[in-house]
Amino acid sequence: MSATPERVVLVSGGSRGLGRAVARRMGGTDGHVVIAPAGHAQAATSIVESVAAEHGRLDALVLDASECLSLAGDHTSALHAFRERQRALVEQAMSLMAPGARIVYVTSHQAHFFPHKAVPKGCTAAVASMRAGETALYAMRSRLGRRGIHLSVVSSERPEGGMHASMHELGTAVVNAVTARTPQGLVCVGGANYLMTA
């Protein structure tokens, strides 16, 4: 009898550490992780074509929105382009995803609860863009549901400097969202005080 096939997981925007954290943890759960930079608009097609050629399917897509934080300030056009790249990647990836596949959107507490919580000075545009990306995925839930694709949002603390509170903890939460028998719709990482995040 052949072994259970590996999960094929694509982490987009994971070049800042999340991709490596997920890859390390997936290594112990029969997973194969492809790490892709956010890239340009045309990159979505080539990334998905590469996954299709090498693996024939995609079991999970992890979208790391934290790259928006490097664009903090007045970079409206760049932030819009980032959201469009992620949207295009989701559209392309769906063609490779069978029932039971997962999409995991990784964001910050400031973005998830925007505009109901204060955000750090100079970060409003980036946080708003991250929230817009999350909202766009929520708008796709009926389409995803018809295909049997589950959407999870993983929200974490973002202390000053834009780094995740704990990359280990975040990576574990993302892997759990990919592998759990019954995944949650929302996972908050960083302690029970996340609702107080300013």
pLDDT in tens, 39-91: 555 677 788 899 999 999 999 999 987 766 655 555 666 667 777 788 888 99
- Return the pLDDT at 170: 85
Q: 14 lies in a domain?
A: yes
Residue 2 lies in a domain: no
Q: Is residue 136 part of a domain?
A: yes
pLDDT at 84: 79
The whole-chain average pLDDT of the chain stands at: 79
pLDDT of residue 73: 53
Task: Establish if 174 belongs to a structural domain.
Answer: yes
Give the pLDDT score at 161: 45
Q: Parallel, antiparallel, or unpaired for β 7-12 and 102-108? A: unpaired
Higher pLDDT, 82 or 191: 82
Asked, for residue 68, whether it belongs to a domain, the answer is: yes
Between 47 and 162, the more confident residue is: 47
CA 45, CA 41: separation in Å to the nearest integer? 9
pLDDT at site 1: 38
Tokens for 195, please give them: 């609702």
Higher-scoring residue by pLDDT: 188, 14: 188
**Domain harbouring 60, CATH code:** 3.40.50.720
Q: What pTM was computed for the model?
A: 0.85
What does the pLDDT read at residue 2? 43
Name the percent of the chain lying above pLDDT 90: 29
The whole domain housing 157 covers 7-196
Residue 1 lies in a domain: no
- Please give the pLDDT value at position 28: 67
In a domain, 78, yes or no: yes
In a domain, 166, yes or no: yes
pLDDT tens string 128-158: 888 888 889 999 999 999 999 999 999 887 6
Q: Which of 50-59, 158-167, 185-194 has the highest mean pLDDT?
A: 50-59
When pLDDT is averaged across residues 94-104 and rounded to a whole number, the result is 96
* Whether the Cβ atoms of residue 33 and residue 178 lie closer than 8 Å to each other: no
Contact assessment for residue 162 and residue 71, using Cβ atoms and an 8 Å cutoff? no
- Split into its structural domains, the chain has a count of 1
